[in-house]
Amino acid sequence: MIQSKGYAARDPKSSLTPISFERRDAGPGDVVVEIAYCGICHSDIHQVRDEWGGSIYPMVPGHEIVGKVTAVGSDVTKFKVGDLAGVGVTVRTCMQCENCKAGAEPYCLKGMVGTYNAKDYDGAVTYGGYSNNIVAPEHYVYSISPKLELAAVAPLLCAGITTWSPLRHWGVGPGKKVGIVGLGGLGHMGLKFAHSLGAETALFTTSPGKEEDARRLGADEVVLSKDKDAMARNKGKFDFILDCVSAPHDLNEYLSLLRLDGTLCQVGLPDEPLPVSAFSLVTNRRSLSGSMIGGMRETQEMLDYCAEKNIVSDIEMTTVDKLDEAYERVVKGDVKYRFVIDMGSLG
Ligand code: NAP
Ligand code: ZN
């Protein structure tokens, strides 16, 4: 077994504390990564606090992982010791079902195994990236370009692919008017990608103080969602809206912004249902959809696109002893725009 150390939640209410645990030795198809940095996703907080139900404790969160390869199994072909590598939200899928075969692994019919707070197919609980190392099958490990700032690449592994995948799936590009709702970790990557793909991009935010940053990140327009007149002026104008909000909010307000055949895609995962009026959908023949992270091939494509276009996340670096403060600031919507933990701080 490989000895690991990290930070774990023991229950929904207490602070995360140090933990020592074991990971499996690298099998023939596995890659071992020594973790340099791990992003803090709002999903970490939802799961640590058991807001979605079914949390498994102790829980070592973290699914925006970057570092260096320290060992590879005998069947591994993509990586060698010393390479930069990343691990995201998924560490196993069946690879046999139609969705896996189509490169849509998060929708695996047997069920995808999450990087943490999940049970692998053999029953072993998975532990995430708030730790010094991780073992994953090669298929779920990504190549990282040395051209980019490594710490700022970490959030691409979840916030990046979760916004990239729906923007690509719904054909966002020149001639399309796109709205991004919520300027947090996901939202700021959504803005960067929508802008880079050539769409006319608007940010909808509850935070007046984020306007200047939003424009720098790629917004052509910023709308304060609490301003009823501004919302009314935007009715029926959008082809595609990506909703990245982590808390309950009124979807009908955003559906009303869609033009004929427009789509609202929900990626934020509030812990309560979001009521929708049928009138919001039948008007303009609108669609309401959702999207979960992204497939392995498209994640590598996104990382390669970022290397080519020099796109990374805007990060605030933190350390393992300051997780409480980081979590509080994420929940308040006060992070610019993703916390990344320097895993060197584990000691
Ligand atoms: P985050 O950094 O906390 O950003 C969420 C943003 O939502 C905030 O910055 C804020 O933006 C807005 N917001 C927060 N509370 C609000 C409220 N009460 N009303 C309206 N707006 C509010 O979170 P994140 O890491 O980007 O994650 C966002 C959500 O996506 C989480 O629920 C997470 O679990 C989920 N997620 C889903 C997937 C997937 O595969 N679908 C993957 C990763 C994460 P403003 O200040 O601009 O209003
Ligand atoms: Zn995430």
Task: From first to last of the 347 residues of the chain, give the pLDDT tens digit.
Answer: 999 999 999 999 999 999 999 999 999 999 999 999 999 999 999 999 999 999 999 999 999 999 999 999 999 999 999 999 999 999 999 999 999 999 999 999 999 999 999 999 999 999 999 999 999 999 999 999 999 999 999 999 999 999 999 999 999 999 999 999 999 999 999 999 999 999 999 999 999 999 999 999 999 999 999 999 999 999 999 999 999 999 999 999 999 999 999 999 999 999 999 999 999 999 999 999 999 999 999 999 999 999 999 999 999 999 999 999 999 999 999 999 999 999 999 98
pLDDT given for residue 21 in this prediction: 98
Asked if residues 151 and 314 have their Cβ atoms less than 8 Å apart, the reply is no
pLDDT given for residue 255 in this prediction: 98
Asked if residues 82 and 69 have their Cβ atoms less than 8 Å apart, the reply is yes
Considering only CA atoms, which residue is closest to atom 39 of ligand 1?
A: 292
CA–CA distance, 126 with 175 (Å, rounded to integer): 43
pLDDT given for residue 55 in this prediction: 98
Q: What is the bridge-based pairing of β-strands 287-290 and 315-318?
A: unpaired
pLDDT given for residue 175 in this prediction: 98
- Nearest ligand 1 atom to the CA of 214 is 47
For ligand 1, pick from 51, 227, 242, 244 the residue to mutate: most ligand atoms within 8 Å of CB. Answer: 244
pLDDT given for residue 173 in this prediction: 98
Give the number of the ligand closest to the Cα of residue 269: 1
Mean pLDDT score of the chain: 98
pLDDT given for residue 281 in this prediction: 98
- Could you count the other beta carbons within 10 Å of the beta carbon of residue 320? 21
Q: What is the pLDDT of residues 129-156, one digit of tens each?
A: 999 999 999 999 999 999 999 999 999 9
pLDDT given for residue 271 in this prediction: 94
- Could you count the other beta carbons within 10 Å of the beta carbon of residue 145? 14
**Ligand 1 geometric centre to CA of 2 (Å):** 35
Q: What is the pLDDT of residues 156-174, one digit of tens each?
A: 999 999 999 999 999 999 9
Asked if residues 274 and 251 have their Cβ atoms less than 8 Å apart, the reply is yes
For ligand 1, residues with CB inside 6 Å are 41-43, 46, 158-159, 162, 182-187, 205-207, 210, 244-247, 249, 267-269, 291-293, 330, 333, 335
* DSSP string across 14-29: SPPEEEEEEEPPP-TT
**Ligand 2 geometric centre to CA of 94 (Å):** 21
pLDDT given for residue 340 in this prediction: 99
